Structure formats: structure tokens, C-alpha cells
Chains A and B, each alone.
Chain A
Amino acid sequence: QTVVTQESSFSVSPGGTVTFTCGLSSGSVSTSYYPSWYQQTPGQAPRTLIHSTNSRSSGVPDRFSASILGNKAALTITGAQAEDESDYYCLLYVGSGIWVFGGGTKLTVL
């Protein structure tokens, strides 16, 4: 059973920078897992932010960026805004038609 790990919560000041990570309980995340990132506010459907490790989806502000950092995928918000207060989920393709979401990171901007 593949478990994808994320920090449970983060806090950032307006204008600040924050980096979330997405790891595996066993092993390293690489581009071969095609990490993607999703933003969700309460009561809303998820919004796709990043795909294929570091490609921003259409309409996503360039303050959102992503990469592989060490053995994890990472999402960075540079210059956080109040509207970025949301839950953030990573998704990994683990092969054989199977995907796994991380548990999500709740971001507070204050």
C-alpha cells in the first residue's frame, strides 16, 4: 500500500514564501511519478495548479512553482496572498493505472 505524505498544516504571512512537500512512506518521489498539485477551498471542487512535476496549469499565477527537492516533490508559493489560504493536495501516479493523493496540507495566511 503506497502512502503519500504531506505536512498537515502551514502558516505564512502575507507576502511570505512557503514550501510544501510530498513524499512517499517508502522510497523517493521522482518525475516518474508525475507529481501534480491541487488547491481546494472549503465547499469547492479542487483546482489543478501544477502537473508533470513543474508545469503550471492555465490561469495559475506564477507565484506558484513546483519541483523535486531531494526525495520529495515540492510546491512553493512565493509572495503568498490571502486568497491562497486553502488546502493543497499532491497526487502521484504510482503505475498500473493507480493514483494516490497525499493527505493534504492546510495553509493559513496571517
Chain B
Amino acid sequence: EVQLLESGGGLVQPGGSLRLSCAASGFSFSTYVMIWVRQAPGKGLEWVSVITDSGANTFYADSVKGRFTISRDNSKNTLYLQMNSLRADDTAVYYCAKRPVGYYFDSWGQGTLVTVSS
């Protein structure tokens, strides 16, 4: 069974940093593209970032480009999101997801809440 477990969320001050992790199990992590998606309170889903299976290529939404960095450690079956220069509008539940063959996301974690506030 595919499992994705996010961690690392919490309360951080504006301008601060946080690193999210997503521990994967139940599938061959190193062969799949992985995704971060977020959802601000009471708002819709927003695609944040994607990383290829090897980690060689990464892409970002304009809203986080230059501030967030996606990475992965295939030896630890773990996906990361380093978030710097955090702003109040980065407050959201952050989900990791798996991209199968195709252009969609088929498995989701339960999310971790990031709150940016002073």
C-alpha cells in the first residue's frame, strides 16, 4: 500500500524558514516523480513544485520560485521542501503527492500545516 507521510509543519515567523519532509513507502520511490501541493485555509488547491525521479529536474509555481527548493533523498525514500523567506500567504496545509505514468497525481499524503505569523 502506498503511504506518504508529511512532517515538519508548524508556526514560523514571517521571513523565517522551514523544511518539510514526506516519507514514502509501499512503492519504488526512486522511480517516481513527486509533487508538493498546498491549500491555504478555506481556499483551493495550489500546485507548488515537482521533482523528477532522479532529482535532476525541478519546477516551481511562480508564487514560490526563488524561495522554495524541492529535493529528494532516494536512499531514504524521502521528499523535501525547503521553504525560505516565508510570508503570511504561504500559510497552508502542504501535501506531497506521487505522479504515476501520466500527467496527474495518484496518491496523496494527509498534509502538514504551516502557519506563518508573528
Which residues on A are within 8 Å of B, measured CB to CB? 1, 34, 36, 38, 40, 45-48, 51-52, 57, 87, 89, 91, 93, 96-104
B102 with A40: CB separation less than 8 A? no
Which residue of chain A has the shortest Cβ distance to B97 in the bound complex?
Answer: A46
| Total residues of chain B contacting the partner, CB 8 A | 22
B104 with A96: CB separation less than 8 A? no
A98 with B59: CB separation less than 8 A? yes
Sample (12) of A-B pairs whose CB atoms are under 8 Å apart: A34-B102, A34-B104, A45-B108, A45-B109, A46-B37, A46-B95, A52-B102, A87-B44, A89-B44, A91-B47, A93-B103, A99-B47
A48 with B47: CB separation less than 8 A? no
Contacts of A38 in B (CB 8 A): 45, 105
Which residue of chain A has the shortest Cβ distance to B96 in the bound complex?
Answer: A45
Task: Choose from A98, A99, A102 the contact partner of B44 (Cβ within 8 Å).
Answer: A102
In angstroms, Cα B42 to Cα A40, docked, is 12
Contacts of A1 in B (CB 8 A): 62
10 smallest CB-CB distances across A and B, nearest first, come from A97-B59, A34-B103, A36-B104, A93-B103, A51-B104, A104-B44, A99-B47, A45-B108, A101-B45, A103-B44
Known pairs A34-B102, A36-B103, A51-B102; A46 contacts B44 (CB<8 A):
no
Which residue of chain B has the shortest Cβ distance to A98 in the bound complex?
Answer: B59
Q: How far is the CB of A53 from chain B (nearest CB, A)?
A: 10
Which residue of chain A has the shortest Cβ distance to B35 in the bound complex?
Answer: A99
Contacts of B107 in A (CB 8 A): 48
In angstroms, Cα B45 to Cα A40, docked, is 10
Using an 8 Å CB-CB cutoff, how does the interface string of B79-118 with A read, 1 for contact, 0 for none? Answer: 0000000000000000100000011111111110000000
